[in-house]
Amino acid sequence: MTFSPDYFSARDRFRAAAARLGWAVHTHPIAARGPGGEELTIDAAVSAAGGREPVLLVSSGVHGVEGFFGSAVQAAALEEWGRTGPPAGVRCVFLHALSPFGFAHLRRFDETNVDLNRNFLLDGQKFAGSSPTYAALDHVLSPRRPPSRLDWFEPRAMAAILRYGYGPIKQAVAGGQYDFPRGVFFGGHGPSESQLILRDRLPDWLSDAPGVIHLDFHTGLGRWATYKLLAEDPFPPETVERVVRWFGPGVYEPSEPRGVAYHTRGGFGRWCPEMAGDRDYLFLCVEFGTYPILTVLAGIRAENQAHHWGRPDDPGTRRAKARLIELFCPASPRWRQRVLDQGGELIRQAVAALRAKPAA
């Protein structure tokens, strides 16, 4: 079994695989509960007590439901190392289900409707503000009613694209907003519980490591079963050269509206290097493609409607959540095998890169 059917199975598999390697497993409960009142946790598996080894950090589930894929990649790597032995000379830190509520409840957002990848504002930045374009379109993006089979969202979205332009509207809608708490891509009104846990624990996980490669696994953007390595800000030429040398040509892309992604406010990939101080910290958002962007947005919108204005037992709510799983973790065996293989290869490439780096 390479893909777990739910959050709890994924968590059990992750913990068991790490324990078989003799790694320390740290569990961090959050206040919110699972669908049946179960405890929800962010879990960290760490390969050794701290030291001067470089660190490979692999995270999953920043966007809850995307954890089906990210967890599968993490578990597959741990299970492979259980057979072959873990990589020597590298400290591994695997962070599982950074939005456990979203994973367990089949949401992209957390228990307060926060998109965690818009919540990691740097010190001094305010949790406030929205694009005027987003504000003008909130009633289209977040209708105050349950989802229905008859919906004219995609034609209305196409009309908005014709009016504003594809790149500008993608940026305005998905870049993050802080004024519409039941809207999509909401960054919150303060630090999330997940952010506070990471702020407290990240220094211990990194220990005295001089360098870090951080792979943060995502799905939902880009061409089917292919990936891009996205950077929050454009890398300087020397960093681009390293990424190309380590991971191959054609896979790196800065996050901007003209490409696969867009600029995000409060992004995880800007916050982690800031928290790491003067370490050489390479953060790569690994984004695997699934369905066309308007199809994905329509699914996010429908699930958000169901969560806020539907009933949990309503067939429309169940359809919206099942659709969200398919949009972010397609059932296609070919998609799943291909992305699992590519995810595993990226982890192997990152290990090789860390071993090759000169000691600080």
Q: Read off the pTM.
A: 0.96
Q: Residue 113 pLDDT more than 50?
A: yes
User: What percentage of the chain carries pLDDT values higher than 70?
Assistant: 96
Q: At 55, which amino acid appears? A: V
Domain positions in the chain are 7-123+185-294+324-356
Q: Other C-beta atoms within 10 Å of 226: how many?
A: 15
Q: State the pLDDT confidence band at 160, using cuts at 50, 70 and 90.
A: confident
Q: Other C-beta atoms within 10 Å of 38: how many?
A: 12
Evaluate whether 348 touches 354 at the Cβ level (below 8 Å).
Answer: no
Q: State the pLDDT confidence band at 156, using cuts at 50, 70 and 90.
A: confident
**Pairwise CA distance, residues 176 & 264, whole Å:** 6
Paired with 253 in beta bridges are 230
Q: State the pLDDT confidence band at 254, using cuts at 50, 70 and 90.
A: confident
- pLDDT, residue 43, reads 98
Q: Does domain 7-123+185-294+324-356 have CATH number 3.40.630.10?
A: yes
Tokens of 334: 């070919």
**Pairwise CA distance, residues 137 & 154, whole Å:** 13
User: What percentage of the chain carries pLDDT values higher than 90?
Assistant: 84
Tokens of 15: 């913990």
**Pairwise CA distance, residues 129 & 175, whole Å:** 11
- pLDDT, residue 258, reads 58
**pLDDT mean over 233-255:** 92
Evaluate whether 347 touches 73 at the Cβ level (below 8 Å).
Answer: yes
Evaluate whether 206 touches 212 at the Cβ level (below 8 Å).
Answer: yes
Least confident among 12-16, 106-110, 198-202, 252-256: 252-256
Please write down the long-range contacts of 333-336, taking CB distance under 8 Å and 24 or more positions apart.
334/225, 335/224, 335/225, 335/290, 336/2, 336/3, 336/72
**Pairwise CA distance, residues 349 & 341, whole Å:** 12
